[in-house]
Structure 1
């Protein structure tokens, strides 16, 4: 299937596609810098805002939205209540200026939502802010403010940015672990940029526990919804009928013939990373510290008579995998008994654990399967 991450990119930079463009780009990325074993950071030299004040995030089990004590059209009330918490985010990057100078042009746009009104913290997707030299946030009341990056994590496709402003409204967060298939939801965001700011679409939870082969999104069991998610919706909230944010809209299947297949990161799964980004300025993840060669696929494995899995191209000296005895050329096929068929599935499974925990990694080596206990180390963004 073909998926895009729902940011609105201008200047000919269209949505990222699978399996063609993303797989080609992502294969090169995974070969050298995937979170499972990279010896260097994915963030380059981006400076992040120093950790701010303790974060104030409200989680609630609010009663259904009513008007005058009587049930109202829920989507109307949700739009009124949650709409002011939703922001547009414009990503400005370098471009050729007059007489060969360098200026800034709007490269793309996305959405976000305020989670801490006092400190001005806004949650969005990492791919919305990726590469930005300047970020401009547009509020529901018409204000446009420059934002600073607090922290970003491509491994989970999450980011937190910060604005300094008064009279902000924060969204309330729900519990995505309690979602039921068929439950009605509302997506709010800026498809196409400011021209269609805070557009509201309505749908249901089509499924839970979906896994996509997209960097970042592969780290979570995603919520699938038929609420329309379009370019520019990335980072915006998916809201239940109690007016609580239960997901972060992130991607959509755009394969011809398919409609109504959008995907959101569950808020309960995202919250630990969001808190880390706010409190520490970075996120930490469990790691084997190996480099995976994504060219090892089902076709190659079948030709060689080997099992599908994650092919270990390199093992970091002194890392947990090396200490446990995992070697280059091993094919990782299971983690704690859960089947692994590729590098993204390995990432997805490892992110269920914490640094310092012990897992049993099953590898295929010289025609034999071997179980190897490994204590996971910490990998910081």
Structure 2
């Protein structure tokens, strides 16, 4: 047998002692690696990567049922508990029917001053009332006094004398964004469904809707659109944001069978100066140019009669601001302060930014020629 043959046979024979040793060393190293990884994972979990629930007396363990919702995670619950007590039911007793029963209608209101008992609501909720009654969430009722109302903005302020009233926090509707949460609180259909809470989102901002304030008279409102359910009786209630701030006064809903989820509220930032004037004066002081029998000249009318688009002035009040500035019946208002005027809403929009006593430039077309007039705004007569 050669040397090479002997050597080959020696390495080919299995070395069982070496194999056993290799297995033991591998098992030890594997166990050490597993222990190290487990410690690292547990450390990461405790550092917040995979948070675990701590048990304490303040936070008892929750059941593992997936259908259970922790109320602390729902802002609507907190909103209902915080703002709900500030929303009241308003009864408008306007007379008696044929059988000597009271003629009543109901609406909602929001307590905005706990010390003085001021409540804001819609004008149409209190219009025509012979007697007003406010019912708090606990069921106590109080006679209410009408402090002031404004048909043009559909706002009114009431006052009651009651102890320990809650008070709503008024927010800033100019900071609203489409898509954020909105909660409506009110009393749809009267006492039976008092204190109803509905939730949705802000669907749109700065919507313009025209409603009939009374037979033959329409007003245009700037409103917030929401899909939170607003039903008859919700009028005057609160539209609330996720922080529990009132950002709108619920006002109207489009009542059509083919439309659902379109409710509207008056922005609270628009309402604040109106509320302030109603409390201070009992009415809203508005600038007045002193014209009547006016009508809009539309694009179509302008083409038919070869006239400019604008506001046709049918008459001028004697001694009023317009007459003193030289305005005449038959003039067509086409601009105020260089802002084009095409509709009465345009004119209202410009004048709403002015105060009584302001001097404004009004451009009219008279017999085909433009005339610039300087008008010192007066105060609109109270109705």
What TM-score do you get using the length of structure 1 for normalisation? Answer: 0.75
2:299 counterpart of 1:293? no
Q: Secondary structure at the match of 1:221?
A: strand
In the TM superposition, what are the counterparts of 1:156-171 in structure 2 within 5 Å?
Answer: 156-171=153-168
Q: CA deviation at 1:243?
A: 0.3
2:247 counterpart of 1:250? no
Distance 2:296 2:353 in 1: 25
**Structure with greater Cα Rg:** 2
Q: Which has the higher helix share?
A: 2
**Larger relative contact order, structure 1 or 2 (CA cutoff 8 Å, min sep 6):** 1
Q: Counterpart in 1 of 2:186?
A: 189
Q: Counterpart in 1 of 2:200?
A: 203
Q: CA deviation at 1:81?
A: 0.6
- Structure 2: state its 5+ residue gaps: 1-57, 60-70
Cα deviation code 1:174-196 (max 9, x no counterpart)? 11111112121111111212221
Distance 1:296 1:94 in 2: 42
Q: Counterpart in 2 of 1:320?
A: 321
Distance 2:114 2:209 in 1: 32
Q: Counterpart in 1 of 2:91?
A: 90
Distance 1:267 1:352 in 2: 17
Q: Secondary structure at the match of 2:286?
A: strand
Q: Secondary structure at the match of 2:313?
A: strand
Q: Secondary structure at the match of 1:275?
A: helix
Distance 2:330 2:101 in 1: 47
Q: Counterpart in 2 of 1:21?
A: none
Q: Counterpart in 2 of 1:152?
A: 149
Distance 1:305 1:231 in 2: 46
Q: Counterpart in 2 of 1:221?
A: 222
In the TM superposition, what are the counterparts of 1:337-376 in structure 2 within 5 Å?
Answer: 337-376=338-377
Q: How many residues align?
A: 310
2:268 counterpart of 1:267? yes
Q: Counterpart in 2 of 1:234?
A: 235
Cα deviation code 1:230-274 (max 9, x no counterpart)? 222211111111000111111223345333222211111211111
What TM-score do you get using the length of structure 2 for normalisation? Answer: 0.74
Q: CA deviation at 1:299?
A: 4.8
Q: Secondary structure at the match of 2:264?
A: strand
- Structure 1: state its 5+ residue gaps: 1-66
Change in CA separation of 1:80 and 1:344 when aligned onto 2, cut-off 3 Å: same
Q: CA deviation at 1:159?
A: 0.6
Distance 1:264 1:142 in 2: 26
Q: CA deviation at 1:298?
A: 5.4
Distance 1:122 1:223 in 2: 21
- Between stretches 160-169 and 251-260, larger displacement belongs to 251-260
Distance 2:373 2:130 in 1: 44
- Between stretches 327-336 and 217-226, larger displacement belongs to 217-226
Cα deviation code 1:321-372 (max 9, x no counterpart)? 1111222222223322333333233223311221122222232332234332
Distance 1:270 1:142 in 2: 28
Q: Secondary structure at the match of 2:349?
A: helix
Distance 1:109 1:361 in 2: 44
Q: Counterpart in 1 of 2:103?
A: 105
Q: Counterpart in 2 of 1:137?
A: 134
Q: CA deviation at 1:150?
A: 0.5
